Amino acid sequence: MAQSREPVLVNLAGYFGGGLYETIWGLFVLDRGGSVVLVGASFAVFGLTTIVFSPIGGRIVDRRGPFPFIVGGLLVMIVTMLIYPFASPPIVFLPLVAIEAIGFSFLAPATFIVIGRGTPAGRTSTAQGLVGSAGTLGTIVAALATGVLAAIDLNAPFFVGAGTIAILLLLVLVMSGRLLRSMRAISA
């Protein structure tokens, strides 16, 4: 499983973002003048957008390989995290959430393809377990850090989250960029 580090780092980054949002999003939207209905609508927009675009993302990742979608998906997370603190009025969160969900809809299949292609036969479930554990760890760390940071400044978790994901993306690129770029589609 020498190649399992790529999806581990990517899942760590992706779920770090998830843990951040699950911890602070409702408070953040309300603080910005949004309503509880807007909080619920934003979660619904993320979920519905992901449902619609994930199959499309999977097909495109199968054809093109994972590299641009791992990089692009994480960059979308970074950029939206940096925009949320400045977005106004709160209704603007809905299209931003949809954009982030589209990025996730390509990021997740790209992560799965790396697991599938980069894991030796008979070790795929072990790799998936490690990748899943990394995601859970990312969620836990983000939830703990977000709670502490939000008590200081409600914007801080977004900036720290964007920085953390950027560092993890750089690690992926330095450690495995060449390998990920070489993972092209098996068939057109």
The 10s digit of each residue's pLDDT in 68-96 is 999 999 999 999 999 999 999 999 999 99
Most confident region among 78-82, 125-129, 168-172 by mean pLDDT: 78-82
pLDDT at res. 58: 95
pLDDT at res. 7: 80
pLDDT band (50, 70, 90) for residue 4: low
Q: Is residue 2 scored above 50 in pLDDT? A: no
Helical (H) or strand (E) element with 16: helix 5-31
For 20-60, the pLDDT digits (tens) are: 999 999 999 999 999 999 999 999 999 999 999 999 999 99
Nearest to 64 by CA among 177, 188, 169: 188
Omega of the bond leading into 89 within 30 degrees of 0 (cis):
yes
Q: What is the CATH number of domain 14-176?
A: 1.20.1250.20
What does the domain layout of the chain look like in residue ranges? Answer: 14-176
Task: Indicate the residue type of 102.
Answer: I
